[in-house]
């Protein structure tokens, strides 16, 4: 019964206070714990914290979600359309710096937290096998602006190759 509700206890701050840890905890407590819930092709209900999702790919009338679960990167297959997922994800808006999704091409959604490099026409994702995702031509300028906004807001650095 309690698994149906998303209840969390506030974190306690240990002294001395680590500024980076404090910032992380503050952002985590201010942002809602948003999750994507779907039923996979085996009929199992799956729940993903937005921050655990690396990418979502449309392939052969299915979507494949690459996400970290218990420290391991796994892929899950669902009989859904990418447009169904697009309608519920926080696209082009900050919920918190670790939950920001972009749509670089028709068949992919990417969590910017896992992008390690930005090339003129592609993104390189951080995961076990460095994955390159192409950016569609009409979206290149928009994606560059979104990445710039994200890196400024989060004080992160990406490798940028032009």
Whether residue 16 lies inside any domain: the answer is: no
Please give the mean pLDDT across all residues of the chain.
77
Whether residue 9 lies inside any domain: the answer is: no
- Looking up tokens 């297959």, which residue turns up? 77
Instruction: Note the pLDDT tens digit of each residue in 119-129.
Output: 888 888 875 55
Whether residue 13 lies inside any domain: the answer is: no
Q: In this predicted structure, what is the pLDDT of residue 135?
A: 92
Q: In this predicted structure, what is the pLDDT of residue 1?
A: 37
Instruction: Note the pLDDT tens digit of each residue in 50-100.
Output: 888 889 999 988 999 999 888 888 999 999 888 888 877 766 555 554 457
Whether residue 28 lies inside any domain: the answer is: no
- In this structure, what CATH number is given to the domain that contains residue 117? 2.40.50.1020
Cβ burial of 71 (10 Å; 0-12, 13-18, 19+) is exposed
Domain count, the chain: 1
pTM, rounded to two decimals: 0.70
Whether residue 112 lies inside any domain: the answer is: yes
Instruction: Name, of 12-16, 117-121, 158-162, the range with top average pLDDT.
Output: 117-121
Whether residue 85 lies inside any domain: the answer is: yes
Q: Which residue has the higher pLDDT, 15 or 37?
A: 37
Q: Which domain holds residue 151?
A: 35-161
Q: Which residues on neighbouring strands pair with residue 53, listed in sequence order?
A: 67
Residue 76 tokens read as 């899950």
Tell me what the mean pLDDT of segment 97-107 comes to. Answer: 77
Whether residue 26 lies inside any domain: the answer is: no
Residue 83 tokens read as 């447009």
Whether residue 69 lies inside any domain: the answer is: yes
d(CA 74, CA 109): 16
Q: In this predicted structure, what is the pLDDT of residue 97?
A: 47
Q: In this predicted structure, what is the pLDDT of residue 4?
A: 41
Q: How confident is the model at residue 6 (pLDDT cuts 50, 70, 90)?
A: very low
């Amino acid at each position: 019964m309690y698994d149906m509700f998303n209840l969390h206890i506030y974190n306690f701050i240990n002294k001395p206070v680590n500024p980076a840890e404090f910032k992380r905890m503050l952002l985590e407590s201010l942002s809602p714990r948003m999750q994507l819930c779907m039923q996979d092709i085996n009929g199992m209900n799956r729940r993903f914290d937005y921050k655990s999702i690396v990418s979502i790919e449309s392939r052969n009338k299915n979507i494949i979600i690459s996400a970290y679960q218990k420290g391991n990167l796994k892929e899950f297959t669902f009989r859904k359309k990418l447009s169904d997922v697009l309608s519920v994800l926080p696209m082009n808006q900050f919920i918190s710096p670790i939950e920001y999704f972009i749509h670089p091409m028709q068949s992919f959604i990417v969590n910017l937290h896992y992008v390690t490099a930005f090339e003129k026409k592609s993104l390189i994702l951080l995961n076990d096998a460095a994955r390159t995702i192409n950016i569609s031509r009409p979206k290149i300028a928009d994606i560059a602006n979104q990445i710039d906004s994200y890196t400024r807001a989060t004080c992160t650095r990406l490798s940028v190759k032009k």
